[in-house]
Amino acid sequence: AQKITQTQPGMFVQEKEAVTLDCTYDTSDQSYGLFWYKQPSSGEMIFLIYQGSYDEQNATEGRYSLNFQKARKSANLVISASQLGDSAMYFCAMRVLSGTYKYIFGTGTRLKVLA
């Protein structure tokens, strides 16, 4: 069975500093995709970044990068130069490409950026 683990329920970071949100996953499938979503206090879910299991390069989207370590089964989100607007809940998610459209989400990490 697939599983996503986010071990940091909450984190603080100083404005303008970088922060890493941890995500480990478990699957026996070789083909899968990993996602990060942001949920601000307003409640909507915002897609941030995606990494495919066969992608050799780590994904980057602006200030977001995904530190993908396949052997360790980790997909950590790195936010550089944190901003106050980055304060939110962050979810890691996975979908395997074995014909099913099941998505598995982690329990989330609440990030607070301090001024």
Partner 1 sequence: EAQVTQNPRYLITVTGKKLTVTCSQNMNHEYMSWYRQDPGLGLRQIYYSMNVEVTDKGDVPEGYKVSRKEKRNFPLILESPSPNQTSLYFCASSPPGLGVYEQYFGPGTRLTVT
The residues of the shown chain that bind partner 1, judged by CB under 8 A, are 4, 6, 9, 32-33, 35, 37, 43-45, 47, 50, 52, 91, 93, 95, 97, 100-108
What's the min distance (Å) between Cβ of 83 and partner 1?
22
> Which CB atom, from 78 or from 97, has the smaller least distance to partner 1?
97
What's the min distance (Å) between Cβ of 101 and partner 1?
5
Query: Looking at the chain, which runs of residues are DSSP E strands?
Result: 3-5, 10-14, 19-21, 24-26, 32-39, 46-52, 60-61, 64-69, 74-79, 88-96, 103-105, 109-114
From 114, 108, 113, select the one nearest 7 (Cα to Cα): 108
> Which CB atom, from 78 or from 89, has the smaller least distance to partner 1?
89
Instruction: For residue 110, give the 3-state DSSP assignment.
Output: strand
> Which CB atom, from 10 or from 15, has the smaller least distance to partner 1?
10
What's the min distance (Å) between Cβ of 44 and partner 1?
6
